[in-house]
Amino acid sequence: MLPTPPALALEFMAEAVRLSIANVASGQGGPFGAVVVQAGRIIARGQNRVLADRDPTAHAEVVAIRLACQVLGHFQLTDCELYTSCEPCPMCLGAIYWARPSHIYYANTQHQAAAIGFDDHFIYQELARALPDRHLPTIHLPHPQAPEAFALWQAKTDKTEY
């Protein structure tokens, strides 16, 4: 899929930015907005809803991805583009990669976000550390039945790969 022409891309980004500005006034969460675009039209909008939903995963990108998947009736956005008012945080970036849009466009940078208190640098640092060196104890706790789910999945002949 080819990227959207610059003039149209700016219109979609303007909507993501408008959503971010409106979200500050709403008090629902941080100053972040996102839209998912398919075939030249917005199919889903998302605003940061961390405070409103009491959900630390309710970032604008995740909200927009969830809504777009409902609209499309599918768990991937392979023929879609994501426009977000800010460079995605590590969590959102992971969700975006799983959703598989064709392109990501962002306005503000992670450094601009850090300057106003939304600093994800510590997460990037933690991901680079070995498990025993992380600040949040991450402990491997094997269970004898845990591999059963993987074996069942591997043997399943009617599974949907993703």
Catalytic amino acids?
Answer: 61
Structure-token pair, residue 56:
């630390």
Nearby residues of 96 by Cβ (< 8 Å), 6 or more positions away: 61, 65, 82, 88, 104
Structure tokens at 114: 């850090």
CA torsion angle 44 81 65 14 (round to 10) = -50
